[in-house]
Amino acid sequence: MPADPTLLKALGEALQKDPGSVPLRLHLATLLLDSGGESAALEHFVTVLGQEPANVDALRGAARAADMLGDSQRAQGYRQLLQALTHTAEQPKASEPPVSEQATSPQPEPSEGERVPAEPQSGDVTPWWEIEWPNLTLKDVGGMEQVKRRLNVAFLGPMRNPELRKAYGKSLRGGLLLYGPPGCGKTFLARATAGELGARFLGVGLSDVLDMWLGQSEKRLHEIFQHARRSAPCVLFFDELDAIGQKRVHLQHHGSMRNVVNQLLAEMSGVASDNEGVFLLGATNHPWDVDTALLRPGRFDRSAVVLPPDEPARVAILVHHLKGRPAEAVDVRLVASKTDGFSGADLAHLCETATENAMEDSAQTGTVRSISNGDFQEALRQVRPSTMSWFETARNFVLFANESGAYDDLLAYMKVKKLV
Ligand SMILES: Nc1ncnc2c1ncn2[C@@H]1O[C@H](COP(=O)(O)OP(=O)(O)OP(=O)(O)O)[C@@H](O)[C@H]1O
Ligand SMILES: [Mg+2]
């Protein structure tokens, strides 16, 4: 329905007084669209995009206006930008805390990467953990051959073979600890490992457990293990395994740190219950802070270092983050070759920055300019690798606390990279 001309006039005047007001301009532009003023509307939408290149309402409006003006190419351009933006918004966050629990029986069909919504347990106020069937396997993990080999030898091989597991009795109990700088794929690898085993994945952020249930942590740990046992085959993934060690001081006040460790050890050894089909993985950025009791034989007695992605891994990560964006012109291999030391998270950030550069240009002209190598060059000036400070800390431990050889792989890498 066409808008009242007096209203349009009043809005126009208000906007003259306050030209920076985005809501006002969007409102006027939308009314103009329905009142035969598509050309003026488009101008307003473009002005908004000048202020806020990622404004979804302005992009939608601009696409409609361009369509009405018969400029389908330009309309298509705005739609592509919209799509690129929506794609960005759908990227999973790297470190979302576990939030929900899924009912375990009857066995649901393993649908792809599905997270089944929570069904609260009776008496439980908030279901808070999350279980899923990952659709990832190690094939989806680009590069990183060394850690994949380590996972195969130290974890997947024995776990895949129940006979072998039985033959060796308890010696194959315990878990594998993934450690390394932040954002380099520990969680990703843990989920891929579950996918590889055809197992479910139950991820637990330990610092959440400790914070939320100070004093009740043992009970919660037991519940978590019970839940994993009911869901077997299941990879039970403890993220931030160092949280127990780190919070030692904090927890000592409550006298429960020892109890938490003991409870974890009891659950791991399956004294009271059978852990058949429960595969334990841990992750930490600070292996040196993990309580040593947890690292003894039969516990988290194997480890694998997850280093910054190598070149093939970087190619895979870049391709993943550019999917669905107009980035055909980007020489992904070239970018990969220039991003040694970047974490997966850094690379995601780099792609965002390059996309924003291209988008800013495109919004001004209304024609989609694909993301280019130039955008990445520009982005590389803004985004720096974040892993250096981690290696600075690691250096001391690698040099002065490596009697057991636990950090040998890390040491070898740091030598090659001239970080020690
Ligand atoms: N080899 C790889 N192939 C494809 N994608 C990868 C690879 N390594 C990491 N990624 C991507 O990098 C991102 C960061 O990885 P992830 O969250 O698993 O890191 P993390 O080591 O668990 O980090 P944090 O220490 O912050 O918990 C993920 O979104 C993942 O998609
Ligand atoms: Mg993680």
CATH superfamily of 5-90: Tetratricopeptide repeat domain (1.25.40.10)
Q: Give the closest residue (by CA) to ligand 1 atom 12.
A: 344
* Domain residue ranges of the chain, discontinuous segments joined by +: 5-90, 130-305, 311-382
- Per this entry, what is the length of the chain? 420
Structure tokens at 127: 């279901």
In angstroms, the CA 159 to CA 153 distance is: 10
Cα of 192 vs centre of ligand 2, distance in Å, is 13
Residue 306, burial from CB neighbour count under 10 angstroms (0-12, 13-18, 19+): buried
CA 111 to chain centroid: 20
Is domain 311-382 in CATH 3.20.20.70, yes or no? no
Identify the weakest region by mean pLDDT among 97-111, 243-257, 268-282, 325-339.
97-111
**pLDDT tens string 34-47:** 999 999 999 999 88
Cα of 415 vs centre of ligand 1, distance in Å, is 23
Residues near ligand 1 with C-beta < 6 Å? 94-95, 141-144, 182-188, 285, 306, 309, 313, 316-317, 320, 344-345
Which of the following CATH numbers is that of domain 130-305: 1.10.10.10, 3.40.50.300, 3.40.50.2300, 3.30.365.10? 3.40.50.300
Place of tokens 């959440």: 208
Report the chain's terminal Cα–Cα distance, integer Å: 71
Does the predicted TM-score (pTM) go above 0.85?
A: no
pLDDT > 90: percent of the chain: 38
How confident is the model over 300-327, as a mean pLDDT?
92
Cα of 144 vs centre of ligand 1, distance in Å, is 12
Q: Give the closest residue (by CA) to ligand 1 atom 25.
A: 182
Statement: residue 249 has pLDDT above 80: no
Ligand nearest to the CA of 92: 1
Please report the atom of ligand 1 found closest to the CA of residue 178.
Answer: 21
Amino acid 99: pLDDT: 35
Give the contacts of 53 (CB within 8 A, at least 6 positions apart): 356, 359, 360, 363
Question: Within 13 Å, how many C-alpha atoms sit on residue 239's CB side?
Answer: 22
Amino acid 333: pLDDT: 97
Best mean pLDDT range from 53-57, 148-152, 170-174: 148-152
How confident is the model over 183-201, as a mean pLDDT?
92
Cα of 202 vs centre of ligand 1, distance in Å, is 17
Angle, in degrees to the nearest 10, between helices 22-33 and 5-17 = 150
Amino acid 154: pLDDT: 78
Statement: residue 80 has pLDDT above 80: no
Q: State the pLDDT confidence band at 95, using cuts at 50, 70 and 90.
A: very low
In angstroms, the CA 199 to CA 178 distance is: 18
Cα of 256 vs centre of ligand 2, distance in Å, is 26
Most ligand 1 atoms within 8 A of CB, residue of 90, 135, 188, 339 to mutate: 188
Please report the atom of ligand 1 found closest to the CA of residue 94.
Answer: 17
Please report the atom of ligand 1 found closest to the CA of residue 188.
Answer: 18
Cα of 285 vs centre of ligand 2, distance in Å, is 9
